Amino acid sequence: MEKYPGKKNTAVFISGRGSNLKSLIKHSKKKNSLIKIILVISNNPDAEGLKYASKSEIEIYGIKNKSNFENKSLKLLDKYNIDLICLAGFMKILSGNFIKKFSKPILNIHPSLLPKYKGLNTHERAIKNKDRFAGASIHKVTEKLDSGKIILQKKVKILKSDDVRSLEKKVLKIEHEIYPKAIDKFLTNL
């Protein structure tokens, strides 16, 4: 059951900095957002993002990669009645078994214009290939890495003067802008 009427109980999975988590928390606090972030789980107990989340009324858990991460997470998702998982800089690949057992939607943000550049080092590859545009995509998570249905994308121009760092900065800015929008779009069309 929804703990907050009209809002989906949401969990965010992170591994590090957590800047996307921060933008999602801000969004979740808005009256008209369709999510309420209840739970944050990290496969890295030292993730910087956990510190930010702990300042809000959110349950946070750091579960080491090797210590039965998926089973422990499934128990927490059940305990907190989670309806939606948002992966945000989560660097572990979830198994098909996990996706099946959770059985509700899982979304991910990826720093490229999918289906281009699945996996890592997306900005490096876009610059190397002399692409004119880079960007970010929010997609549904399926067993196949970075391949589920795309919900929203936005592109940015790659300038001749751009390097990996400057491009990452530009793309991150649009990530923060489109992830909340993509979630609400996805939930509206459910």
Strands 150-157 and 133-140: antiparallel
What span, in angstroms and rounded, lies between the C-alpha atoms of 101 and 74? 8
Q: Which is nearer to ligand GRF, 7 or 110 (CB)?
A: 110
Shortest CB 108 distance to ligand GRF, Å: 7
As given in the structure block, the two tokens for residue 187 are: 């939930």
Q: Among the options 110, 123, 139, 176, which is catalytic?
A: 110
**Which residues of the chain form contacts with ligand GRF (CB under 6 A)?**
14, 16-20, 49, 88-89, 109-111, 172, 175
- Identify whether 176 is a catalytic site residue: no
As given in the structure block, the two tokens for residue 29 are: 């606090």
What span, in angstroms and rounded, lies between the C-alpha atoms of 190 and 188? 6
Q: Which is nearer to ligand GRF, 17 or 101 (CB)?
A: 17
Shortest CB 55 distance to ligand GRF, Å: 16
Shortest CB 22 distance to ligand GRF, Å: 8
Helix (H, G, I), strand (E, B) or coil at 60: strand
As given in the structure block, the two tokens for residue 182 are: 């993509």
Q: Which is nearer to ligand GRF, 83 or 175 (CB)?
A: 175
Q: Which is nearer to ligand GRF, 31 or 144 (CB)?
A: 144
Shortest CB 135 distance to ligand GRF, Å: 11
Tokens 């997470």 belong to: 73
How many other β-carbons are positioned within 10 Å of the β-carbon of residue 116? 16
The catalytic residue positions are 110
